[in-house]
Amino acid sequence: MQISVFNPAHLPEQDQKHAILEFLYKHLEQFGDPIDQIERAFDYAMGKNQSPGGFVIIAETADGIRGATIVNKTGMEGYIPENILVYIATHQNHRGEGIGKLLMNEVVRIAEGSIALHVEHDNPAMHLYRKLGFTNKYLEMRLNREEQHGTLNA
């Protein structure tokens, strides 16, 4: 298994970027987002638009990508974790082979500072994250403007 790391100082070729985006879109399955949102996170990790950057890690064999992750730097050192793991996926035909663990170990090794991630309560990867030392410190709450139905009057 070959591990490749891309960051603002080591950008992927355009065809590599496209392959990574397509891989994540397909293999994130129910935990994924539209490909344009995945691309925005990828571009952020590559330092586009003066973002703090981050990194992308892929695990591949001669047959293609087997796993990929995108980690963005938050630029909020000291009060928010310095990194957020935005996406991680393993090939649907190669789950249970340790690829996710390999990727997560690389993320932990490479990231400077703390790492946050969001995980659905029914995601089977929750066990791996806990085993690696991730804890559930907070309950996340979001206000989605598109879904907002009312306001609170003081």
CATH number at residue 10: 3.40.630.30
Band the pLDDT of 118: cuts 50, 70, 90.
Answer: confident
SS3 string, 54-86, reads: EEEEEEEECCEEEEEEEEEECCCCCCCCCEEEE
**154 domain-assigned:** no
Average pLDDT (14-38) is: 94
Angle between helix axes 35-45 and 14-27 (nearest 10 degrees) is: 130
The reported pLDDT for the residue numbered 78 is: 80
Taking the C-alpha atoms of residue 5 and residue 3, their distance in angstroms, rounded to an integer, is: 7
Band the pLDDT of 130: cuts 50, 70, 90.
Answer: confident
**47 domain-assigned:** yes
Q: Is the pLDDT confidence value at 28 over 60? A: yes
Residue-wise pLDDT for 62-84, tens only, equals: 999 999 999 999 988 888 889 99
The average confidence (pLDDT) of the chain is: 87
**153 domain-assigned:** no
Lowest pLDDT segment from 32-46, 101-115, 119-133: 119-133
**127 domain-assigned:** yes
10 Å Cβ neighbour count for 25?
19
Contact 29, 92 (CB under 8 A): yes
Taking the C-alpha atoms of residue 11 and residue 45, their distance in angstroms, rounded to an integer, is: 10
The reported pLDDT for the residue numbered 31 is: 79
**105 domain-assigned:** yes
- What is the domain count for the chain? 1
Taking the C-alpha atoms of residue 66 and residue 118, their distance in angstroms, rounded to an integer, is: 22
Residue 12's domain comprises 2-147
Q: Where are the beta strands (DSSP E) in 18-130?
A: 54-61, 64-73, 83-90, 115-117
**111 domain-assigned:** yes
Taking the C-alpha atoms of residue 118 and residue 71, their distance in angstroms, rounded to an integer, is: 12
